[in-house]
């Protein structure tokens, strides 16, 4: 999700107007048009060219029943996933977003996630503005364009936490250092192709394999309107990630390390309804995604360390619907489910063994947005990610300060 | 997967080669500019209007269909003044069409030809969703339409020089008809001068300035914040002291707050088309002002 303040380009447009504008002044005639012509010429000071700044603050109060387990049964923990929630009162995140046009050919953006004692660079990229024929190149660190949820930052999620397939198979969102090429076809139907080459440092990749080009992806997105009240987007994507020593620790502090291939396929569908395209009073959004991966390689684990050939087909999907039933108030429901594959016999009984359990979860939420900049949410989830059921309740706030960010469809 | 990708690529390349452009493709952000481009361009342009008269121009999503249209546009005609800041930048970023980016001749902004009202002296979100550059709902003063029309005709001629003469002729004709219509509207609307009104959102300031309507209250406590029942009661109490003649709102706005207040204050709630397509009569720019005046006069009797 990319943010940009219109003021910056708006100002650039105004600054470039005067030549045309002066002609207008001379040509203008007629009694009714006596109003003196005047531009909204900004007073140019050095900080008028500062990037657009927005600050996102969000936090929550969460209560879980005693049986709650953070791990997803049968899936390797994906590191410090941003989608995970903590019990009690907690700051979920603070994001600082700076973005601006660099010049007439480039746009740049930096998204920092601020935590105690560190600032993590979530995204830091440039994007071309001037390439011909519908081409766009992005370079730097960014969230991969695969799937629908992957490019969305947590403050834009419709639920407190991310859907299970994303948490289990992408560690929340997959972002990495790399380059991305997108091409929009000149067709009435929206058709977009994209391809990425990425460093392969972050989950599900690891270790920046292939001399730092350890992950590659390709995606196609289609979309259109149906009548005056409906619109949709659908896409398929594939991510091929190489994992080199992708390590995690289970609760007994046993270490596991995976080296191999982690290919992932994603199919996504989004459908939105707003009566006569006017979402102000009521609107509806349905989205569903299916993720499937087929990891193959070797796990090193145990003491003394033993290597085990590993291959598992795993999949997951979620479907969610959010309905704004009156201005500012929305309700939503989500169901998500995972299917773990059979690990080799040596890994039986470990965290990688689903033991016949199918992780699933059902959530409902209600949120209130005082304006486009503030949102308060309550969410209840019935969680069966581990064999014992657990209930979760979350109260969340999301505050956006500063520049008016635009959000993708 | 790879094969499917290639098929799709081939299919879209095929579509590309079939659709050879004939007319200048205008992407209009709002219906009023779509209508104006059609008036000035005639058969030389094909106009795509990104929003309808039933849409709140503040709440537009960068839908896939809009990206597809942006990709092919030769000229983008928008209000500017930050009105489209929530969606237009995304279309520029995703549309991959640098010919229509701000700063170049392919991007036309109406706000650059008009003096914006209500430029805030204090920029604070506690004041609601204020527009830093001033109130951008500038099209409801027909004098502004005339100013923008002159600018747009010039721009059309610049971008599509082969049809420059046609744009000039059509603009001369439009300007003449518009001037006559404006005289008629001003005569009709003379009786509306000075009457006190209540509005839903600060989207009528230019109409008010032109006709001399006096806006004594708005239903939104702050711009962009929907009316709450507590605030409506407060407005109602104020109206007991300073009565208004009518409550006006745009066709796209929630009718309930205006209706609630109108019933209790015993004054008419008037739904105005706001832009082209906002009512059955507002089929073009002339129809928009004909209908707006007719509805105001009916309520003001």
pLDDT of residue A26: 39
CA-to-CA dists, residue B262 to A8, B155, B249, B299, angstroms: 41, 44, 11, 12
B56 and chain A in contact, CB less than 8 A? yes
Tens of pLDDT, residue by residue over B240-251, are 899 999 999 999
Residues A355, A29 contacting (CB under 8 angstroms): no
Task: Say yes or no: A7 contacts chain B, CB-CB below 8 A.
Answer: yes
Beta bridge partners of B295: none
Question: DSSP of A194-238, one letter per residue?
Answer: EEEEE---STTSBS-HHHH--EEEEEEEEEEEETTTEEEEEEEEE
Where is pLDDT greater, at A25 or A64? A64
pLDDT tens track for A45-57: 566 678 889 999 9
pLDDT of B2: 54
* Residue A113 touches chain B, beta carbons under 8 Å: no
Residues 130-189 of B with CB under 8 A from A: 132-134, 142-143, 146-147, 150-151, 154-155, 158, 175, 179, 182-183
Question: Which residues have a Cβ under 8 Å from the Cβ of B138 and sit 6 or more positions away?
Answer: B79, B81, B110, B111, B114, B116, B117, B144, B206
> With an 8 Å Cβ cutoff, is A303 touching chain B?
no
Residue contact A33–B146, C-beta within 8 A:
yes
**CA–CA gap between residue B139 and residue A116 (Å, rounded):** 50
Q: How confident is the model over A226-238, as pLDDT tens digits?
A: 999 999 999 999 9
Helix (H, G, I), strand (E, B) or coil at B178: helix
Name the residue among B96, B72, B88 with its Cα closest to residue B23.
B72
Residues A196, A181: Cα–Cα separation, whole Å:
6
Q: Answer whether A265 sits within 8 Å of B1, measured CB to CB.
A: yes
The least confident of A200-204, A303-307, B204-208, B267-271 is: A303-307
Distance of CA A408 to the CA centre of its chain: 10
Determine contact: B111 vs chain A, CB below 8 A.
yes
Candidates A33, A218, A276; nearest CB to B143: A33
B130 → chain A, closest CA residue: A404
| Closest CA–CA distance from residue B122 to any residue of chain A (Å) | 14
The pLDDT tens digits of the residues spanning A239-296 come to: 999 999 999 988 888 899 999 999 999 999 999 999 988 888 899 999 999 999 999 9
B280 close to A (CB below 8 A): no
State yes or no: pLDDT of A29 exceeds 50: no
CB contact under 8 A, A231 and B15: no
- Give, as one character, the DSSP assignment of residue A286: E
Tell whether A226 is within 8 A of chain B (Cβ).
no
The candidate with the shortest Cα–Cα distance to A188, out of B288, B27, B186, is: B27
User: Is A5–B85 a contact, with Cβ atoms under 8 angstroms apart?
Assistant: yes
What would the pLDDT profile of A140-155 be if each residue is shown by its tens digit? 999 999 999 999 999 9
Which residue of chain A comes nearest to B101, CA vs CA?
A: A129
Question: What is the CA angle B35-B36-B38, rounded to 5?
Answer: 65
CA separation for the pair B294, B297 (Å, rounded): 5
Backbone angles phi, psi at B288, to 5 degrees: -60, -50
- Average per-residue pLDDT for chain B: 90
User: What is the maximal distance between C-alpha atoms in chain A?
Assistant: 94
pLDDT reading at B261 higher than 60: yes
Nearest to A2 among B93, B150, B254 (CB): B93
State the pLDDT at residue A32.
Answer: 35
Cβ–Cβ contact B255 with A under 8 A: no
For Cα atoms B34, B61, A235, give the angle at the middle one, nearest 5 degrees: 115
Mutation to test the B interface, candidates A134, A227, A239, most B Cβ within 10 Å: A134
Question: What pLDDT does residue A47 have?
Answer: 66
Residue B108 CA to residue B152 CA, distance in Å, equals: 7
Q: For residue A124, give the nearest of A151, A86, A97, A87 by alpha carbon.
A: A97
CB of B225 within 8 Å of a chain A CB? The answer is yes
Question: Measured between CA atoms, how close is A102 to chain B, in angstroms?
Answer: 13
CA distance B73 to A188: 11
Query: Under an 8 A CB cutoff, do A131 and B61 touch?
Result: no
Alpha-carbon distance B277 to B139, whole Å?
A: 14
A26 touches chain B (CB under 8 A): no
Nearest to B276 by CA among B48, B54, B26: B54
Task: State the complex-level ipTM.
Answer: 0.82
Residue A143's alpha-carbon distances to A241, A364, B26, B155, in angstroms, are 14, 27, 33, 39
Are B212 and B190 in contact by the 8 Å Cβ rule? The answer is no
Contacts of A22 (CB under 8 A, 6+ apart): none
Cβ of B133 within 8 Å of Cβ of A40? The answer is yes
The reported pLDDT for the residue numbered A67 is 85
Kindly state whether B98 is in contact with chain A, defined as any CB-CB distance less than 8 angstroms: yes
For residues B258 and B3, give the distance between their C-alpha atoms in angstroms, rounded to a whole number. Answer: 57
Task: Pick the closest to residue A55 from A399, A407, A408, A406 (CA basis).
Answer: A399
Q: CA nearest B224 in A: which residue?
A: A371
pLDDT of the residue at A3: 43
Contact (CB<8Å) B129/A218: no
Query: Mean pLDDT score of chain A, rounded to an integer?
Result: 86
pLDDT at A5 over 80: no
pLDDT higher at B14 or B217: B217
Min distance A362 CA to chain B CA atoms (Å): 28
Cβ-based neighbour number of residue B178 at 10 Å: 22
- Asked if the C-beta of B67 comes within 8 angstroms of chain A's C-beta atoms, the answer is yes
The pLDDT value recorded for residue A93 is 85
For tokens 């596991």, the residue is A256
Whose CA is closest to A172, among A199, A154, A190? A154
Q: Is the pLDDT of residue B22 over 80?
A: no
- Choose from B5, B68, B203, B251 for mutation: most chain A CBs within 10 A: B68
Substitution target from A11, A41, A190, A192 for chain B, most B beta carbons within 10 A: A190
pTM (predicted TM-score) = 0.85
Q: Edge to edge, what strands does the sheet with B246-250 contain? A: B214-218, B196-199, B246-250, B269-272
pLDDT reported for residue A82: 58
Cα gap A386→B127, rounded to integer Å? 48
Distances in Å between the Cα of A306 and the Cα atoms of A128, A226, A303, B166 are 48, 56, 7, 81
**pLDDT of A369-395, one tens digit each?**
988 889 999 999 999 988 889 999 999
CB atoms A220 and B129 under 8 Å: no
- Nearest-Cα distance to chain A for B61, in Å, is 6
In this model, does residue B135 exceed pLDDT 50? Answer: yes
Specify the pLDDT at position A334: 98
Can you tell me whether residue B291 is helix, strand or coil?
A: helix
Residues A70-98 have pLDDT tens digits of 888 888 888 665 556 789 999 988 999 99
Strand partners, A12: none
Tokens for A353, please give them.
């063994």
A137 touches chain B (CB under 8 A): no
For the record, the structure tokens of B141 come out as 């003063």
Tokens standing for A350? 């470990």
């Amino acid at each position: 999700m990319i943010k940009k303040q219109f003021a910056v380009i708006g100002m650039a447009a105004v600054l470039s107007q005067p030549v045309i504008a002066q002609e207008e002044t001379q040509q203008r005639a007629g009694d009714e048009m006596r109003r003196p012509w005047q531009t909204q010429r900004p007073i140019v000071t050095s900080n008028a060219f500062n990037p657009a700044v927005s600050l996102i603050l969000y936090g929550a109060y969460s209560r879980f029943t005693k049986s709650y387990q953070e791990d997803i049964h049968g899936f390797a923990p994906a590191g410090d996933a941003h989608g995970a929630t903590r019990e009690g009162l907690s700051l979920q995140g603070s994001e600082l977003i700076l973005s601006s046009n660099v010049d007439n050919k480039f746009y740049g953006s930096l998204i920092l996630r601020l935590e105690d004692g560190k600032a993590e660079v979530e995204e830091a990229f440039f994007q071309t503005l001037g390439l011909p024929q519908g081409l766009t190149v992005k370079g730097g660190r960014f969230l991969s364009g695969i799937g629908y949820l992957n490019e969305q930052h947590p403050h834009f999620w419709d639920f407190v936490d991310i859907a299970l397939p994303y948490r289990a198979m992408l560690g929340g969102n997959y972002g990495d250092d790399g380059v991305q090429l997108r091409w929009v076809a000149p067709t009435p139907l929206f058709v977009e192709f994209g391809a990425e080459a990425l460093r392969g440092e972050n989950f599900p990749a690891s270790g920046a394999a292939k001399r730092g080009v350890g992950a590659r992806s390709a995606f196609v997105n289609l979309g259109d309107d149906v009548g005056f009240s409906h619109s949709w987007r659908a896409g398929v994507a594939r991510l091929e990630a190489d994992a080199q020593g992708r390590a995690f620790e289970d609760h007994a502090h046993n270490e596991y390390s995976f080296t191999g291939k982690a290919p992932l396929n994603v199919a996504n569908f989004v459908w939105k309804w707003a009566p006569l395209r006017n979402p102000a009073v009521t609107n509806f959004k349905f989205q569903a995604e299916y993720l499937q991966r087929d990891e193959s390689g070797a796990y090193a684990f145990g003491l003394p360390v033993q290597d085990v050939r590993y291959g598992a087909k795993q999949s997951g999907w979620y479907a969610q619907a959010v309905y704004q039933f009156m201005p500012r108030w929305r309700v939503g429901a989500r169901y998500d489910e995972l299917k773990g594959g059979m690990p080799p016999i040596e890994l039986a009984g470990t965290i990688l063994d689903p033991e016949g359990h199918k992780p699933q979860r059902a959530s409902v939420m209600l949120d209130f947005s005082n304006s486009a900049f503030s949102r308060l949410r309550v969410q209840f989830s019935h969680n069966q990610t581990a064999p014992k059921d657990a209930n979760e309740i979350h109260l969340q706030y999301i505050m956006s300060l500063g520049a008016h960010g635009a959000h993708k469809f | 997967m790879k094969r499917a990708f290639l098929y799709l690529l081939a299919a879209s390349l095929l579509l590309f080669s079939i659709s050879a452009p004939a007319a200048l493709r205008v992407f209009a952000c709002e219906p009023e500019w779509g209508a104006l481009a059609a008036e000035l361009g005639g058969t030389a342009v094909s106009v795509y209007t990104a929003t309808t008269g039933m849409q709140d121009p503040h709440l537009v999503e960068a839908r896939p269909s809009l990206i597809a249209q942006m990709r092919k546009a030769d000229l983008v005609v928008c209000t500017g003044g930050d009105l489209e800041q929530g969606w237009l930048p995304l279309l520029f970023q995703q549309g991959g069409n640098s010919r229509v980016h701000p700063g170049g001749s392919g991007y036309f902004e109406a706000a650059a030809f008009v003096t914006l009202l209500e430029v805030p002296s204090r920029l604070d979100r506690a004041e609601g969703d204020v527009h830093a550059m001033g109130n951008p709902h500038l099209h409801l003063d027909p004098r502004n339409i005339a100013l923008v029309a002159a600018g747009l005709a010039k721009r059309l001629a610049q971008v599509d020089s082969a049809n420059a003469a046609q744009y000039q002729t059509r603009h001369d004709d439009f300007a003449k008809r518009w001037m006559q219509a404006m005289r008629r509207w001003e005569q009709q609307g003379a009786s509306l001068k000075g009457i006190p009104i209540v509005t839903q959102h600060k989207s009528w300031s230019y109409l008010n300035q032109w006709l001399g309507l006096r806006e004594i209250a708005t239903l939104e406590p702050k711009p962009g914040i929907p009316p709450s029942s507590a605030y409506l009661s407060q407005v109602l109490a104020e109206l007991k002291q300073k009565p208004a003649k009518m409550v006006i709102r745009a066709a796209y706005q929630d009718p309930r707050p205006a209706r609630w207040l109108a019933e209790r204050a015993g004054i008419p709630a008037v739904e105005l088309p706001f832009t082209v397509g906002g009512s059955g009569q507002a089929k073009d720019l002339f129809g928009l002002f004909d209908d707006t005046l007719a509805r105001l006069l009916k309520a003001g009797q």
